[in-house]
Amino acid sequence: MRGSSLFGRWYMTLAGLALCLPLAAPFASASSDSDMREALDAARQKDWSTIDQAAIEDHELAGYVAYHRLRDRLPTASASEVQAFIDEHSDSPLSRWMRNQAITAYGKAQRYDRVLAISDVVPDDTTRRCHYYRALLERDPRQATEGGRQLWLSAHSQPSACDSLFQRLMANGTIDDALIWERMMLAWQAGEAGLMSYLERQLGSGWQTGIDAVERVQNDYTAITRVPTRIGPDGQGGGPLFAAAMYGFTRADTEAALEAWRKIARHVPVNDEQRQTIERDLAFYSMVRDVHNNRAWVDQVLPRLDDQELLTLRVREALANRHWRSVIDWIHRMPDEPRQEARWQYWLGRALEELGDPQTAETAYAAAAVERNFYGFAAADRLERPYSLNLERTSFNDAYRNEIADWPQVQRTEALMRIGEPGLANSEWFYAIEHASPQEARALADYAANRGWFVKMIQTTIQADLWDALDWRFPSAYRDQFLKWGRNNDVDPYLLMGIARRESAFNPRAASPAGARGLMQLMPGTATHVSRKLGIGDPGPTGLENPEINIRLGSAYISEMLERYRDNRLAATAAYNAGPGRVDRWLRNAPEEFDLFVESIPFSETRNYVQAVMAYRVIFESLANGGETQGVAMMTPRERDVSYSPSLLARQ
């Protein structure tokens, strides 16, 4: 029976994990929360007459009703009133929201003095940036002009809020025909035909040569070698035209595009940035499309481009062909920081080992093995060493924990959860993390752990860069269900936990844009298929938000994948992410060794997914052992030594 000899140890170590004992929620009277719930609903509807202000005056969330009152009075409310609200609620996202609402309202009403009175930094939203720079034109025209210029140079239509700013910049000559042409070329690259037509109508007659050249190249990319290089009255439009034309040509026919580029590269008036972009595109698509005739040019240009993504592609190409000397050469061309990563130190070790230099290979493996990831663990396996977890543990006494419970941000988070506002509660929590010191962030993570807030706890560690706080990053969430359904389906429960951690960060209500739902991010169609095989009712999308159901179906589905690939968790995990049909095809052309198989996965999402899940399961198992990695193995000997080829398929 699959995994039966190991399951007893998995069960015992998981059962030994320390449980997070939830703190009691801070007490609040039911009546005050009920009054606040009603008041907030009324405030959203602008039904001010029904709000009993006295009943909510001392409630932690009174500021939320005040926010809606003040927002409703914009733009007539004074800047001083808005600023006073911002100052009073500076420890809450209410301050940011109020500033944003006020900038939008004041800008729309053309009350630019008020925009500047409450804006101390450039807004991060395009609409508000347009209002801000329009307001700034009188006070700091240089900054406003540069900001407006950057907003103008967009390949897509901008919000109507930008119209006033752009009109002023056209009037003062900042946005001239050359800048209109440059934006038109950006729109061409983005396939924005409507915006192109609009911008073309703004150009003077001196640009007809350029307009004709665009039409000619649109009909035949090879015409790029025959169009004029001087575009526009001052000959300034050639660079943007050739950059846009090469963008489309490279994607349409990379080999022909390079042939054309080599003919015109010395003569076209592109600037250094445009030339870099054109050649980077050519190199990128030449490699991902495996254009053999372009390879010599790619190898010649890569050192000059000095681009990490391109160098990564080149190393992966060398690995696919087992050109071990090239692997070493191209890794050595990487900048120092990425070259020292476990991934590249591991591959240096593999290449050196293949070339008969085990001593230097061991040095590279040792450099990789200090890291806590797939390649760090694989390097440790090569050296037959325990894994490096670099585990950090922080503890707080009860007195400090009680103090944290009284922090206003925590009180508001608790209150919002009590009245059924989880979205606002998350906003309060993460605003607090954003403004917390490192020690305060740890204290908040500890609070979330003790309250059983798995999603908040994990996101806290991410937002606060608490990468070594593994007890918080990888909690024993839904442990009993993973144990139960892992046992019932004969699946490694740490693998299930690793998948759920990667898929949803243990958020049972997670939903992907594609429609996947719940802890293990099951597609409704997959859930229907698995439910029928199990002889149970289809849970539907909403039912997949139930952790028990989701884990049951997810564990049954990964069990199917394990059966398909002879208990191989690397292949099964890849299939869970990308689908078994793709994995079947990859195995037909796989380079046989496990590490080369993983590196050869063509989808970066799936490649990273497999590495993350396998590393996560090591962490979960190690934490179940009290943080001890002795005896923990990322892969079984069979998974390390088997041939990654069609022979891995149970049914051929």
CATH assignment at residue 557 = 1.10.530.10
Among the listed residues 414, 503, 545, 621, the single catalytic one is 503
**Cβ-based neighbour number of residue 393 at 10 Å:** 10
Short-list 402, 430, 405, 403, CA closest to 415: 405
Given pLDDT bands bounded at 50, 70 and 90, which one contains residue 12?
very low
**Cβ-based neighbour number of residue 174 at 10 Å:** 17
Alpha carbon distance 252, 256 (integer Å):
9
Same domain, 537 and 635: yes
- Helix, strand, coil share (%) of the chain residues, nearest 5: 70, 0, 30
Given pLDDT bands bounded at 50, 70 and 90, which one contains residue 16?
very low
Task: Average the pLDDT over 38-57 and give the result.
Answer: 95
Would 330 be classed as within a structural domain?
A: no
Same domain, 204 and 85: no
Short-list 511, 518, 581, 522, CA closest to 556: 522
Of 282, 305, 328, the position where a domain reaches its end is: 305
Would 275 be classed as within a structural domain?
A: yes
Q: What is the pLDDT of residue 589?
A: 86
Alpha carbon distance 270, 263 (integer Å):
14
Would 616 be classed as within a structural domain?
A: yes
Given pLDDT bands bounded at 50, 70 and 90, which one contains residue 652?
low
Same domain, 485 and 621: yes
Same domain, 114 and 197: no
Residue pLDDT, tens place only, 473-528: 999 999 999 999 999 999 999 999 999 999 999 999 999 999 999 999 999 999 99
Phi first, then psi: what are they for 346, rounded to 5°? -60, -45
Would 187 be classed as within a structural domain?
A: yes
* 300-317 burial code (b ≥16 CB/10 A, e <16): ebbeebebeebbbbbbbb
- Range(s) of the domain holding residue 127: 31-136
Same domain, 130 and 184: no
Residue pLDDT, tens place only, 602-627: 999 999 999 999 999 999 999 999 99
Given pLDDT bands bounded at 50, 70 and 90, which one contains residue 120?
confident
Would 626 be classed as within a structural domain?
A: yes
Given pLDDT bands bounded at 50, 70 and 90, which one contains residue 28?
low
Asked if 503 is an active-site residue, the reply is yes
Would 425 be classed as within a structural domain?
A: no
**Cβ-based neighbour number of residue 627 at 10 Å:** 13
Q: What is the pLDDT of residue 27?
A: 53
Structure tokens at 448: 């979330």
Q: What is the pLDDT of residue 592?
A: 87
> What contacts 333, CB < 8 A, 6 or more positions away?
302, 303, 311
- Helix residue spans in 220-341 (DSSP H): 238-252, 254-264, 272-288, 295-305, 308-320, 324-332, 336-339
Alpha carbon distance 603, 575 (integer Å):
12
Would 443 be classed as within a structural domain?
A: no
Percentage of the chain with pLDDT > 90?
A: 92
Would 398 be classed as within a structural domain?
A: no
Task: Average the pLDDT over 323-350 and give the result.
Answer: 97
Phi first, then psi: what are they for 92, rounded to 5°? -130, 150
Same domain, 610 and 533: yes
Same domain, 514 and 611: yes
Q: What is the pLDDT of residue 591?
A: 83
Task: Average the pLDDT over 132-156 and give the result.
Answer: 97
Same domain, 129 and 190: no
Same domain, 492 and 572: yes
Same domain, 107 and 204: no
Of 305, 330, 356, the position where a domain reaches its end is: 305
Are the CB atoms for 582 and 561 separated by under 8 Å?
A: no
Same domain, 209 and 264: yes
Same domain, 511 and 574: yes
Short-list 325, 271, 326, CA closest to 298: 326
Given pLDDT bands bounded at 50, 70 and 90, which one contains residue 7?
very low
**Per the structure, how many domains does the chain have?**
3
**Cβ-based neighbour number of residue 532 at 10 Å:** 11
- Helix residue spans in 419-539 (DSSP H): 422-434, 438-451, 454-463, 470-473, 479-489, 493-504, 524-534
Of 276, 305, 334, the position where a domain reaches its end is: 305
Half-sphere exposure of 175 (CA within 13 A, CB side): 25
